[in-house]
Structure 1
Amino acid sequence: MSPHSQIPPAPTSVTPLFKAHGLTKSFGPNVILDGVEFEVPRKAIVTFVGENGAGKSTLFNLLSGIVAPDAGSMRLNGRDYRPHGYGEALRLGVSRVFQEQSLVGNVPVYENLLLGYEGRFTHAGQWLDRRAMIAAAEGIIEAAGIDVDVRRRTADYDFSKRQSIEIARACLATSHLGGIVEPFVLLDEPTSALDRRDEDAFFKLVTRIKGQGSLLFVSHRLTEVLAISDLIYVLKDGQLVARLDPATTDEKTLHGLMVGRERAADYYHERRQRPVTDGPALLGVRKLGRSGHFADVTLEVRPGEVVGIGGLLDSGKSALGKALAGVEPAEHGTVSFVSGPPEIPDIRSQVRKGLGYVPAERLTEGMIPAFSVAWNISLASGADLFAGPLGWWRRRRELATAARYAKEMSIRSATPAQRCARLSGGNQQKVVLARWLCRQPKLLVLDNPTRGVDAGAKEEIYRLIRDLTDQGVGVLLITDELLELIGLSDRILIMQRGSIVTEVAAPPDAKPTERELVTFMLPRSGTPGRSAVHQIPETLQ
């Protein structure tokens, strides 16, 4: 065990807000948590880090009452704590932001914010006082510092804003509505979907909540972990292997403890980036547009090239990715794929020609979690790879393919029959990638392919992208991670308000900086409150 794990708990006479002793949980023969012991001091931000599959989400499920431990005990505010369901945990003051969003999209924001508290706004047990609900929700939104109209339909807001709404609900509803004086908030990858403006509001909110209660935080962004935490625990293979003081540790140490090896100096495998030939383009896009999302987009992707697309969440980059894959068809302009005729693409023809698409929202757009690993991998190939000429299903081939990719891609705890809902976020993402790899694609459109993925799994995905480009596969990489965008791309296209505003070369020996890219992403100075100087994050100034 690392010497860092020998740091003793800070001596204190104050009872911690939360304490766990010997927590153990197994699913079948798989031991997910093995005797985990830790405590959360009062008015503190405590972070858990670990690889996907280390047991972090299962730990949060125990703490929030979704599943019960097989052994061990928990104490909240000095009292025994063993909730029977999330509703009871919420009443006791434990709230949670889930790794994947859990909002109801087709109802107003205020109904999502007050979900579970409707009884406080009823008359005679039948009639809801909607005015009172709206007023209460507006109080939560104002305290959270979010620019949201609570009467609007939740689905009308983008992914980042919906994530902010969910964070506000978890952090403030228990104290505003539940009468909890000292809340305990569980945050599972809360910032993975936030843009920079919403991140700023989130960190201000976290600081305010810390003045009242405590927060238990899971994040794969190690820089963020070090900046925000009062205490860091490292979980590996279901066991607690280290307790760290963030003031005396660094990213390299955290990475080594998490994955059992030091982070590679060439994390993005930039040394493998090779010059792109001037041959025919795999993908040619001409003046593509979709009202309200993007307009007059022209670009090319060549064999073996990684073309990165960066921009703020409202830049239109994700909508462009969907249009290129034919998921949401463009309204004008054309796309030529693999020397085919110019056309407006649809998903069926693109898949047949050799395109694969990994969406940003894994659980809602990328897979069916209730179905098996094998079923999700074969999802795009039911018409050819796994179906016989008379329509019979090649079940053996499907199972063998799923087993092969589970092994090759190190998808933990994944048998072909395993439901994807039981896998960690990073392993779910590998299943989505395997769906397209089994088709031997010519072009991949990847929208935030490492969102919610740990540092070790990210490196595996980066290596995979390099392997594909070595084989001549073209990659269109859409990502909110600036370092990922810079490290992997041959060229970077920056979008702003639906248009490509500049192209930045990114050869391995002359990569652009984060500051340079951020400056291009933001509207020019002169627009009130949106100047490039003021929008550049402090860490880049």
Structure 2
Amino acid sequence: MSDRTALQRPSPVFEAQALSKSYGPNRVLDDVGFVVPRNKVVTFVGENGAGKSTLFNILSGVAAPDSGVMRLHGATYAPTDYGAAASLGVSRVFQEQSLILNVPVYENLLLGQDARFARAGQFLDRKAMIAVAEAIVEEAGVDVDVRRRTGDYDFSKRQSIEIARACLAGLHLGLVTQPFVLLDEPTSALDRRDEEAFFRLVARIKTRGSLLFVSHRLTEVLALSDLIYVLKDGRLVAELEPANTTESELHGLMVGRERAADFYYERRQRVIAKGAEPVLSAVGLYQPGAFEPIDLVVRKGEVVGIGGLLDSGKSALGKAVAGVDPPAAGEVALNGGSAGAPDIGRFVRQGLGYVPAERLAEGMIASASVAWNVSLASGGDLFSNALGLWRRGREVETTERYVRSLAIRSAAANVRASRLSGGNQQKAVLARWLCRNPSVLVLDNPTRGVDAGAKEEIYRLIRELAETGVGVLLITDELLELIGLSNRILILQRGRLVAEVPAPADAKPTEREIVALMLPQSDRPDLPTGAASPSTSSPARETIP
């Protein structure tokens, strides 16, 4: 390369040299160096626990490196907190949502910027705030009323609001001209329309700034990225151009092995007879505004998938079945017992476990220890004696056993759950129920925010549980996961159960078939109004009126 060419090459937006970080004896980042070119999308991939979140914490001022140097726009960069990073044009979408649900959308979009809209030192110009917020959501392509309470919107819309804030608030307020946006698993909860709007927004932001992206969806990584870095065990092991790599290669670099051809362990899927013993039976479950009356059965050793768009009511149905959010009407019976109104306390004692979609909001207490989270559902029986005294030794032994068997990295009984990566936190939530030897598991997006290697481990675990007779009700936004794991698939559409699709190991339905059933006819671009969908026209499919 000539000196002239080197002088003409623009300096990177961001560069890091020899970043290292340890928590106690665990070295989370080890001598990591990289650059983020201008007007590019750069992606980090790696297993849960590879160091991606720690790296983002350092870049956004949430944590400080033990050693190493960072430069932003050519100047030394060492933020002392997130506010300092934001003042220099660095914004972030966190893996777990960080919105205030009981305030209007416009207040969340302009959080921390109230002083800019103060009049006479004490009055807020809410009209001006609303105008700026409306400009932000319009450019982001997010269909929301900024005056409405944030909590009124579903998970996908709230995620879109966070993304819009990170990408556009600084630009619309005139705080930055070249944004540097950190996106940590931004699309894991987006529905189809919001995801399309996100891709368009990324293309627009790239013309004015740069984006650093973390995702476990390798297809998405290859489609969006200009440059890919691979982290493994805290070290940078590869720098790749998307045009010259494949999903298989990325997976191999991340986890140290090629992705299994039978990723969903379909060859281990059991054939379940219609007359097999039910472990869960629900009749007439009804929740106004969420779903209409629904009947369903899960048989011993069966995986029943629940599919639908984010507005289908599938997560609300899972909460109702488990008794987490009791329905207005309907009854559920477990293991052939008497039917009654769902109640999570009673159901746990009868052998049901429930994993919610929003891990940190509903699934665990991150500030508590791993052991405390594992024993959370069993304080009344497994980990206390007849006198009510706590069996600390049993709690620690049980936790350590599942840390080993589930390969929960960087974990020990007394380690705070917040120190674990998202995927390892999810394994700890699963351990809470596995230690109770459940007969029924209700799993709502059990692999959300989980890397490909950890997903494969969770899929293997689901198959092993089914082989022992556990019935699984699987609610998921991941289409291939829904198809690959399920014996049968129930499709919800705006609160109505519209179809039941058989999914035997040797005759899985196609993605197109399932998507066609999820979409109302008016939203199906490839199906003329009045035409039967591919699924409903097949004799192998059963459509529910």
TM-score (norm 1): 0.95
2:226 & 2:388 partners in 1: Cα distance?
Answer: 59
- 1:505 matched residue in structure 2: 502
- The residue type paired with residue 263 of structure 1 is R
Q: What are the residue-to-residue correspondences of 1:455-494 with 2, within 5 Å? A: 455-494=452-491
- 1:272 matched residue in structure 2: 268
The alignment status of 1:62 with 2:58, answered yes or no, reads yes
Question: RMSD of the TM alignment (CA)?
Answer: 1.3
1:357 & 1:274 partners in 2: Cα distance?
Answer: 22
- The residue type paired with residue 420 of structure 1 is A
Offset from partner CA, 1:251-309 (integer Å, 9 cap, x none): 00000000000000000000001111322211111121011111111111000000000
- The residue type paired with residue 531 of structure 1 is R
Contact 2:42/2:226 (<8 A) preserved: yes
2:471 & 2:123 partners in 1: Cα distance?
Answer: 57
Contact 2:269/2:463 (<8 A) preserved: yes
Q: What are the residue-to-residue correspondences of 1:15-54 with 2, within 5 Å? A: 15-54=11-50
1:178 & 1:473 partners in 2: Cα distance?
Answer: 56
Q: How many residues are matched? A: 523
The alignment status of 1:533 with 2:526, answered yes or no, reads yes
- The residue type paired with residue 490 of structure 2 is L
- 1:92 matched residue in structure 2: 88
The alignment status of 1:296 with 2:293, answered yes or no, reads yes
- 2:353 matched residue in structure 1: 356
- Give the alignment partner of residue 394 of structure 1, picking from 391, 399, 406: 391
Cα offset, 1:109, TM superposition: 0.6
- Give the alignment partner of residue 345 of structure 1, picking from 342, 345, 358: 342
Contact 1:522/1:532 (<8 A) preserved: no
2:111 & 2:66 partners in 1: Cα distance?
Answer: 30
Contact 1:462/1:488 (<8 A) preserved: yes
Cα offset, 1:149, TM superposition: 0.6
- The residue type paired with residue 266 of structure 1 is D
Q: What are the residue-to-residue correspondences of 1:139-538 with 2, within 5 Å? A: 139-277=135-273, 278-525=275-522, 530-533=523-526
Structure 1 residue ranges without an equivalent (≥5):
1-9
1:350 & 1:533 partners in 2: Cα distance?
Answer: 43
- 1:7 matched residue in structure 2: none
1:455 & 1:436 partners in 2: Cα distance?
Answer: 22
Contact 2:21/2:30 (<8 A) preserved: yes
- 1:76 matched residue in structure 2: 72
Partner SS, residue 315 of structure 1: coil
Contact 1:310/1:479 (<8 A) preserved: yes
- The residue type paired with residue 362 of structure 1 is R
The alignment status of 1:136 with 2:129, answered yes or no, reads no
2:264 & 2:276 partners in 1: Cα distance?
Answer: 25
Cα offset, 1:534, TM superposition: 7.9
Structure 2 residue ranges without an equivalent (≥5):
529-533, 535-545
2:454 & 2:417 partners in 1: Cα distance?
Answer: 17
- The residue type paired with residue 533 of structure 1 is D
Contact 1:411/1:430 (<8 A) preserved: yes
Q: What are the residue-to-residue correspondences of 1:106-125 with 2, within 5 Å? A: 106-125=102-121
TM-score (norm 2): 0.95
The alignment status of 1:104 with 2:97, answered yes or no, reads no
1:169 & 1:304 partners in 2: Cα distance?
Answer: 45
Offset from partner CA, 1:318-367 (integer Å, 9 cap, x none): 00000011001011122121111121111111101100000000000000
Partner SS, residue 222 of structure 2: helix
Offset from partner CA, 1:356-400 (integer Å, 9 cap, x none): 000000000000000000000000001110111111111110111
Cα offset, 1:532, TM superposition: 4.8
- 2:122 matched residue in structure 1: 126
Stretches (4+) displaced over 4 A = none
